[in-house]
Amino acid sequence: MITLQVNGTSHQVDTDPEMPLLWVIRDLIGLTGTKYGCGEAYCGACTVHLDGEPVRSCVTPIARAAGHRVTTIEGLSPSNDHPLQKAWVELGVPQCGYCQAGQIMSAAALLAANPSPSDEDIDRSLAGNLCRCGTYLRIRAAIHKAAPNRTATNNGAALATGKDI
Amino acid sequence: MVFRRREPSTGLGAAPRLRIVRAGSLLLFSTAALIAAWSSGSASQTPAAEQLRPPKTFASITDQRQRSRALYAEASRVLLHPRCVNCHPSDDTPRQGDAQAVHEPPVSRGPADRGVPAMQCSSCHQDHNMKYARVPGAPEWHVAPLKMAWLGRTPAQICAQIKDPSRNGGKTLEQLHEHMASDALVGWAWAPGSGRKPAPGTQKEFGALIRAWIETGAECPTEEVSR
């Protein structure tokens, strides 16, 4: 039996310790906001936080999460009001939306570590989150908009303030 | 002096004997591989490791300094192997595969050689290989610091580098041996999983070569090793 905390709630799961965290979250606990993309840590759709650090849940064995705190997109904020979620809505970032949970979880980890990221910082930190719809410019803009110490020195910041880029 | 991998200067008569031994080993090894493939059905997916010659192979080189260089030349087959060099990049990103392609997805070494926020090495790599996702893993997975870069460097350059405490993490030769012979992340090179070709020999055999190299004066090649 493996015990882990997901979004503040303790769960006990009886499963193979090598089962990916993603399947525990989706199939055993029933939180389906986190998506399966590639299953090989290439695309970032399954990104969640483990003790605040982003991990690709599709390749994280549940044994690694035992006794630790997992945060999924459902637990990022109490009322879907994380600054990133608000910026995402305001700028209309998603198209099909499939990758966006992973994008936001990676972005939240970036902003926690760097409250005023440059375009280059964002590009590097989200290089592993793929979007088949190509919403990268709006993702970047929304991150700037949500950044606690936002700057207006780059393209993403320009879009975040409503200017054309 | 030029060292050749297949026929080192081991003295009169030694090279032919070596060939015979190796031919015999090859036959034995091939038979073992066939049996393993037949019995498990999966062995064929993991390329066989090349063998490392043990220190005693070089005992007939009477000049100690030359023997030391020959030992290093053999050990450098591990140092220059993609399983090792790929995570000793001379730029910002590790490499992948035997062709040493740039890491996919694109990653940056970051300030502590463990990635950048949201793209840490540990975001994807575990402390062991992931069988189904084929993501490699070992404890403390990270890239070597820039001052320990090996990619694009020659055996002679790497030799000088690993002996220099300002470029080897402040290690003595004894600590260098400990690192190479025992470190778990180094050891991954011999158990890379998912069809990746392991470094030659075993970590224990590599450690024995490094030990013998140190005991003979840790000499570096005076010219580039020719293979």
Domain covering A83-160, topology: DNA polymerase; domain 1 (1.10.150)
Over its C-alpha atoms, chain A yields an Rg (Å, rounded) of 16
User: Which three-class secondary structure state does DSSP give residue B226?
Assistant: strand
Q: Where are the domains of chain A?
A: 2-75, 83-160
Q: What pLDDT, on a 0 to 100 scale, did the predictor assign at position A157?
A: 54
Q: What pLDDT, on a 0 to 100 scale, did the predictor assign at position B5?
A: 42
Percent of chain B residues past pLDDT 90, beyond the cut: 76
For B157-186, write each residue's pLDDT tens digit. Answer: 999 999 999 999 999 999 999 999 999 999
Give yes or no: residues B77 and B153 share one domain: yes
Q: Which of A18, A59, A113 sits opposite B117 (nearest CB)?
A: A113
Domain covering A2-75, topology: Ubiquitin-like (UB roll) (3.10.20)
Judge whether residue B64 has pLDDT over 60. yes
Distance from CA of A77 to the nearest CA of B (A): 18
Q: What pLDDT, on a 0 to 100 scale, did the predictor assign at position A152?
A: 52
Give yes or no: residues B28 and B72 share one domain: no
Chain B residues with beta carbon closer than 8 angstroms to that of A107: 118
Within a domain: B148: yes
- Which phi and psi angles does A49 have, rounded to 5°? -105, 135
Q: What pLDDT, on a 0 to 100 scale, did the predictor assign at position A160?
A: 57
Within a domain: B138: no
B84 within 8 A of B189, measured Cβ to Cβ = yes
User: Which three-class secondary structure state does DSSP give residue A133?
Assistant: coil
Domains: count for chain B: 2
Give yes or no: residues B24 and B70 share one domain: no
Put simply, the answer to whether A40 touches B108 (Cβ < 8 Å) is no
**What is the chain A residue with the closest CA to B93?**
A124
Within a domain: B84: yes
Domain span at B64: 50-99+144-215
Chain A residues with beta carbon closer than 8 angstroms to that of B124: 41, 55-56, 59, 128
Q: Which residues of chain A, if any, have pLDDT below 70?
A: 151-165
Q: What distance, in Å, lies between the first and last C-alpha atoms of chain A?
A: 52
Residue scoring higher pLDDT (B11 or A73): A73
Q: What pLDDT, on a 0 to 100 scale, did the predictor assign at position A26?
A: 98
